[in-house]
């Protein structure tokens, strides 16, 4: 049986499900198959008002990856709010840069804390290699500005997600935007000193531990290389202790 035949069987099972439990099971099986032909059905499942089916559909869309992005973006403005929220979760999980504007808007303005959290997390998992090199610094700066703003969100889970994304962004910009790295470290230190939530402060400490070795390496590795080139080796003259 080829993928097209299998997809049709699994899609039919979703369409013919006559209970909430059967629908969840059918969508889970369809998502697990990872077949591109299933994308329209998985997207439709986001609007079934069935959280279990929606979670399974999001997982399936993320697993399929980039092929799901155009149809999600094409339809996202026409969704009811619940389906739109699930779609944003899927886009955040995929990390495709074509969803950047949608993720930025959702992370900064959506009224649902769970959507803002998912979008904020998605800003830290963007696939930077998809961006042309001449635009990379500009896009990373845009994401940095957004994350610094999101760190002020009133909900701790959103600030937590922003810290997670700042960690990954700090590592990414160590090469492309080293002059901006201090903005991230300063923001993290400020949150460590002032954030009211223990979970956020704990996540900040973890981010600092991961960022600092990377920044140290980027700062000192070029100097070591320069020394290797410019400092001549001192000849051995003997007389050392054995």
Taking only the tens place, the pLDDT of each residue in 43-99 is 999 999 899 999 999 999 999 999 999 999 988 866 678 888 899 999 999 999 999
135-161, pLDDT tens digit by residue? Answer: 999 999 999 999 999 999 999 999 999
Express as a percent the part of the chain with pLDDT over 90.
76
202-227, pLDDT tens digit by residue? Answer: 999 999 999 986 555 544 444 334 34
Predicted pLDDT at 84: 87
CA–CA gap between residue 13 and residue 237 (Å, rounded): 83
CA–CA gap between residue 111 and residue 30 (Å, rounded): 31
Rounded to two decimals, the pTM is 0.81
The stretch 117-146 carries a mean pLDDT of 95
67 is written with which tokens? 């092929």
Q: Which of 165, 161, 158 is nearest to 113 (CA)?
A: 158
- The answer to whether 120 and 165 have CB atoms below 8 angstroms apart is yes
Predicted pLDDT at 224: 39
Helix (H) or strand (E) holding 5: helix 3-16
CA–CA gap between residue 150 and residue 56 (Å, rounded): 28
Query: With b meaning 16 or more CB within 10 Å and e meaning fewer, what string describes 62-78?
Result: bebeeebbeebbebbee
CA distances from 83 to 43, 72, 80 (A): 9, 10, 6
The stretch 4-13 carries a mean pLDDT of 93
Long-range contacts (CB closer than 8 Å, 24 or more residues apart) made by 46-52: 46/79, 46/82, 46/83, 46/86, 46/87, 46/90, 47/79, 47/80, 47/82, 47/83, 48/23, 49/82, 50/20, 50/23, 50/24, 52/20, 52/23, 52/24, 52/27
């Amino acid at each position: 049986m080829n993928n097209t035949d299998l997809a049709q069987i699994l899609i039919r099972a979703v369409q013919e499900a006559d209970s909430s439990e059967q629908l969840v099971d059918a969508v889970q099986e369809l998502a697990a198959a990872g077949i591109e032909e299933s994308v329209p059905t998985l997207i439709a499942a986001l609007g079934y008002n069935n959280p279990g089916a929606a979670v399974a559909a999001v997982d399936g869309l993320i697993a399929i990856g980039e092929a799901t992005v155009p149809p999600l973006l094409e339809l996202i403005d026409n969704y009811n709010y619940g389906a739109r929220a699930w779609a944003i979760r899927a886009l955040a999980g995929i990390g495709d840069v074509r969803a950047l504007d949608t993720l930025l808007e959702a992370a900064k303005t959506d009224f649902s804390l769970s959507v803002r959290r998912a979008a904020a997390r998605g800003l830290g998992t963007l696939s930077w290699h998809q961006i042309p090199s001449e635009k990379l610094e500009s896009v990373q700066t845009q994401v940095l500005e957004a994350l610094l703003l999101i760190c002020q969100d009133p909900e701790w889970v959103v600030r937590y997600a922003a810290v997670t994304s700042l960690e990954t962004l700090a590592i990414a910009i160590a090469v492309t935007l080293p002059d901006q790295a201090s903005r991230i470290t300063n923001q993290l230190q400020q949150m460590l000193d002032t954030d009211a939530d223990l979970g956020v402060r704990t996540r900040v400490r973890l981010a600092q531990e991961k960022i600092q070795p990377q920044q140290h390496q980027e700062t000192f590795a070029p100097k070591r290389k320069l020394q290797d080139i410019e400092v001549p080796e001192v000849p051995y003259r003997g007389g050392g202790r054995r």
